[in-house]
């Protein structure tokens, strides 16, 4: 039996909820408790668990302030965690493993806590007190063409900071440059960019921050407690000067300004850059067959000197989903890493248009890049013949909370090109290559364990792609509607059905016909409503919407479905898992399973009780569907609906808008180890 710390979430009053996952529980356990033991003082702290085990998940609420005490001037406390239980009145103690690595969570101006793991992957709660109240630890610091960008947490123990101001103080003259244009990067993170093009050449500047907290003005020096690897610490300016970030021995941050280079140095630098370009041109980028690919994967490739992360979404067909959310945050926080997308040739034009570094799949360069990288981040499976080196950490984000049965849970696979035994075998083989799997909730964690035969690390942080749903503002939604040419004065209905395993045209392609009359739909709603169609990417036939003008928008190929969630007022789906994500918005959801009994009884089946567990009404015919649309377009907020709120608490409550940051933090922690 194993007990794994799978998540830590803030609660009201400064408390934290620790979440434990129990694996391989062979018997009934009683008298549950969490026991914390401080490694140095050997003190113990016992927290009874009053709620029993549900779906092998436990939640324990603790106050981090209670993990400090007076002991010979000790200021740092490291607590091991143990799960205590009884079996047939016999007591047992199990040390808790860690699948969660937190950042620095400030408790007061002088104390903070972190969740770490020891050399044997056991969980540690590290609490630090008596810290310097003059220090403010930041999350990232980078120089860009726009200036010096600093990001950090905007709360202390759940209380918001206010009016953050970044200050550059000239060490020689004492003059200050201040900037307070704060951007909310993600929920809980702020970013400030301060121009540096007017700083004095040859001068050094200390970096400080001011903010309001609990009614007081706080002035602190900015500290950076990690190596600068991954940060962009040098940036040439248009005036010829070069600005550089330096860390002091005491973790402070100094900005230095180097004078313009002489002409001879510029020529030498240009020649070096041209040489690198010539080397890249010489790289082989020829499409080869699978046999040649397999042979290339068997060769030993030395890893890149620069930490390299490969991103892939839906087998290279898109630059989208959770890998894109993680990529964007890496690009902003750690631009010094090499970030590369693995894409099909069909996605190359989009990469070029958006300045996204890429490598084309199934080429010799692709093989070398995969093998020489340090991390793979994907939301689907790589081909089975792709070899994963031991030096690579493979993070699987997956692509949805499962409604339909997956992997080993599918008893009869009817998809073309495979059979049940082969499908099961391929799923397990692929899952065993994943070093970490992202999960959005306890429900998914349990299914992933069983359906994938997965026993490696699960990062239960929520899906990074859903951060956008939590962090988007009303202005963001307006901008999206303008981008998609959707009228601002009309309501939006989003129809996003699943593909059906029994409607395939050929291997990898499926057909679909709309199960409602567009003319009737337009007649009833067309004056003040528009309809967005979002078909599954496997659908091979293009839907004919000619003649419907500004009423119907076929956005099936639009890469980011989260944008479509944000602009819509109501979702219609059937068996697709999209409603799990859409529920974050607390907007109405309707279900239109016009072939429900066929799909349930003859195809893959469901994990949920489709009649009881869904967060919205079910319409089995077109007349009921149209009636429900008219009703629920008048109810934009479902927060007061008990059934909906119960669903939200079960499936959406852990995502705090920082899922991408938590995955980034996990990767950086692996690098530092």
Run of H or E residues at 338: strand 338-343
pTM value? 0.81
Cβ distance 120 to 28 under 8 Å? Answer: no
> What token pair was written down for 146?
């726009």
Set out the domains of the chain in order of their start, with CATH numbers: 2-128 (2.60.40), 135-258 (2.60.40), 289-466 (3.40.50.11820), 470-651 (3.40.50.12580)
CA distance 29 to 200: 68
Average of per-residue pLDDT across 254-277? 60
- Residue 607 vs residues 451, 616, 620, 667: alpha-carbon distances, Å: 11, 17, 20, 31
Provide the percentage of residues in the chain whose pLDDT is more than 70.
89
- Could you tell me the pLDDT band of residue 98, with boundaries at 50, 70 and 90? confident
CA distance 316 to 326: 16
Average of per-residue pLDDT across 533-545? 70
Q: What is the pLDDT of residues 613-666, one digit of tens each?
A: 999 999 999 999 999 999 999 999 999 999 999 999 999 988 789 999 999 999
Alpha-helical segments (H) within 343-493: 348-353, 364-372, 420-431, 442-451, 467-471, 474-483
- Residue 46 vs residues 14, 36, 39, 58, 162: alpha-carbon distances, Å: 19, 6, 15, 15, 37
CA distance 662 to 100: 9
- Residue 420 vs residues 182, 416, 448, 547: alpha-carbon distances, Å: 54, 11, 18, 44
- Could you tell me the pLDDT band of residue 385, with boundaries at 50, 70 and 90? confident
Q: What is the pLDDT of residues 28-80, one digit of tens each?
A: 888 889 999 998 888 898 998 876 666 778 888 898 888 988 888 888 899 99
pLDDT at 514 over 90: no
Q: Quick one: pLDDT at residue 281? A: 35
CA distance 648 to 126: 32
């Amino acid at each position: 039996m194993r007990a794994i710390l799978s998540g830590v979430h803030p609660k009201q009053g400064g408390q934290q909820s620790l979440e434990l996952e129990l694996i391989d529980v062979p018997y009934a356990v009683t008298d549950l408790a969490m026991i914390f033991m401080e490694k140095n003082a050997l003190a113990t702290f016992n927290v009874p668990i009053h709620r029993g085990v549900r779906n092998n998940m436990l939640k324990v609420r603790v106050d981090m302030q209670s993990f400090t005490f007076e002991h010979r001037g000790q200021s740092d406390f490291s607590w091991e965690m143990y799960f205590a239980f009884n079996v047939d009145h016999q007591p047992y103690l199990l040390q808790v493993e860690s699948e969660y690595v937190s950042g620095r969570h400030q408790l007061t101006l002088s104390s903070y806590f972190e969740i770490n793991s020891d050399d044997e992957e056991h969980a540690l709660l590290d609490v630090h007190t008596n810290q310097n109240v003059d220090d403010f630890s930041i999350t990232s610091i980078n120089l860009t063409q726009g200036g010096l960008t600093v990001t950090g947490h905007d709360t202390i123990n759940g209380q918001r900071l206010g009016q953050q101001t970044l200050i550059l103080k000239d060490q020689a003259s004492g003059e200050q440059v201040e900037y307070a244009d704060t951007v909310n990067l993600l929920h809980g993170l702020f970013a400030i960019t301060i121009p540096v093009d007017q700083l004095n050449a040859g001068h050094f500047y200390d970096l400080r921050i001011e903010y309001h907290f609990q009614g007081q003005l706080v002035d602190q020096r900015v500290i950076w407690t990690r190596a600068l690897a991954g940060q962009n610490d040098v940036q040439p300016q248009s005036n010829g000067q070069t600005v550089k970030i330096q860390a002091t021995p005491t973790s402070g941050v100094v900005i230095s300004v180097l004078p313009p280079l002489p002409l001879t140095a510029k020529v030498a630098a240009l020649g070096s850059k041209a040489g690198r370009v010539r080397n890249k041109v010489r790289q082989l980028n020829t499409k080869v067959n699978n046999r040649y690919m397999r042979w290339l994967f068997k060769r030993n490739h030395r890893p890149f000197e620069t930490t390299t992360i490969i991103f892939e979404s839906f087998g290279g067909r898109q630059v989208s989903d959770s890998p894109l959310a993680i990529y964007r945050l890496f690009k902003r926080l750690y631009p010094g890493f090499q970030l590369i997308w693995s894409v099909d040739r069909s996605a190359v034009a989009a990469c070029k248009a958006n300045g996204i570094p890429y490598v084309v799949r199934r080429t010799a360069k692709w093989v070398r890049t995969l093998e020489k990288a340090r991390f793979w981040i994907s939301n689907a499976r790589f081909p089975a013949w792709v070899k994963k080196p031991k030096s690579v950490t493979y993070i699987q984000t997956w692509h949805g909370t499962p409604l339909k049965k997956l992997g080993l849970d599918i008893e009869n696979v009817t998809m073309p090109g495979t059979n049940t035994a082969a499908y099961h075998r391929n799923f397990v083989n692929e899952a065993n290559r994943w070093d970490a799997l992202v999960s959005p909730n306890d429900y998914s964690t349990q299914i992933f364990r069983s359906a994938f035969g997965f026993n490696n690390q699960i990062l239960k942080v929520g899906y990074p792609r859903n951060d956008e749903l939590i962090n988007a503002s009303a202005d963001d939604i307006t901008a999206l509607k303008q981008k998609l040419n959707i009228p601002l004065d009309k309501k939006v209905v989003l129809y996003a059905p699943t593909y059906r395993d029994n409607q395939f045209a050929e291997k990898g392609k499926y057909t679909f016909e709309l199960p409602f009359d567009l003319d009737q739909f337009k007649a009833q709603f067309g004056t003040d409503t528009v309809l967005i169609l979002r078909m599954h990417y496997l659908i091979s036939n293009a839907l004919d919407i000619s003649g419907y003008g500004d009423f119907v928008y076929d956005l099936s190929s639009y890469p980011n479905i989260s944008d479509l969630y944000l602009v819509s007022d109501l979702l219609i789906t059937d068996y697709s898992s999209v409603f799990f994500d859409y529920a974050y918005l607390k907007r109405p959801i309707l279900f239109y399973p016009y072939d429900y009994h066929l799909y349930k009884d003859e195809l893959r089946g469901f994990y949920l009780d489709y009649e009881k567990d869904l967060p919205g009404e079910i319409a089995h015919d077109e007349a009921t569907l149209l009636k429900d649309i008219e009703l629920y377009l008048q109810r934009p907020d479902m927060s007061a609906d008990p059934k909906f709120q119960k669903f939200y608490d079960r499936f959406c409550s852990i995502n705090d808008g920082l899922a991408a940051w938590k995955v980034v933090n996990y990767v950086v922690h692996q690098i530092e180890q």
